């Protein structure tokens, strides 16, 4: 339940259905406007009623979650269990993946899509467009285009530059 002492997207108040809807809205925007900048995506999500921090989370987490499933299929052996963000003193803080409901909702949708096939909710072209927006896919593609393999590799934790640790942990 949400009360006034919590933000509506804090981990104790955000339910799976709301997180899933945020993921779907983000997929629609990113696939519908593949050339849009991160700032534009965040602005459009805010125009749809999402808070500034929620829009930033969706913008960062949806592409990453979709990429993780692809990278696992390409042979990445180990995925991180955290992200890195800066605190007010500029120090690195480990943000547990499991506590980020938008990320886990997108990861669940991605996993289910790979297990059950493409769908009207998440067709292949949408999946590819959105996953390719992620830093993880950009790094993987550099290796793949250079003729390298991802077999047995470890994915390092992503550094979230557009959000502070306190915003992510709220």
The string of DSSP codes covering 101-157 is HHHHHHHHHHHHHHHH---SSS-HHHHHHHHTTSHHHHHHHHHHHTT---TT-BPPP
> In 10 A of CB 157, how many CB atoms?
16
- For tokens 């999402």, name the residue: 50
Share of the chain above pLDDT 70, in %: 92
Range 15-27 average pLDDT: 93
0.85 cut: is pTM over it?
Answer: yes
Q: What pLDDT band is residue 110 in, cutting at 50, 70 and 90?
A: very high
Range 75-103 average pLDDT: 95
HSE toward the beta carbon, residue 59, CA cutoff 13 A:
23
Residue 4 clears pLDDT 60, i.e. is over it: no
The string of DSSP codes covering 1-68 is ---TTS-TTSTTT--HHHHHHHHHHHHHHHHH-TT--HHHHHHHHHHTT--HHHHHHHHHHHHHHHHH
Residue 105 clears pLDDT 90, i.e. is over it: yes
pLDDT digit string (tens) for 157-167?
999 999 999 99
Domain spans of the chain, in order of start: 16-169
Average pLDDT taken over every residue of the chain:
90
Q: State residue 170's pLDDT score.
A: 78
């Amino acid at each position: 339940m949400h009360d006034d002492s919590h933000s509506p997207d804090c981990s104790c108040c955000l339910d799976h259905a709301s997180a899933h809807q945020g993921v779907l809205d983000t997929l629609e925007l990113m696939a519908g406007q593949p050339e849009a900048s991160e700032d534009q995506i965040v602005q459009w999500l805010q125009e749809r009623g999402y808070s500034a921090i929620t829009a930033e989370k969706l913008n960062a987490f949806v592409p990453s979650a979709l990429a993780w499933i692809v990278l696992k299929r390409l042979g990445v052996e180990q995925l991180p269990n955290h992200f890195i963000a800066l605190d007010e003193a500029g120090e690195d803080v480990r943000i547990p993946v499991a506590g980020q409901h938008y990320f886990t909702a997108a990861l669940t949708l991605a996993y289910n899509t790979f297990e059950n096939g493409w769908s009207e909710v998440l067709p292949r072209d949408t999946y590819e467009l959105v996953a390719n927006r992620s830093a993880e896919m950009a790094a993987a593609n550099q290796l793949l285009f250079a003729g390298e393999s991802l077999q047995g590799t470890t994915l390092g934790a992503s550094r979230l530059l557009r959000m502070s640790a306190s915003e992510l942990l709220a």
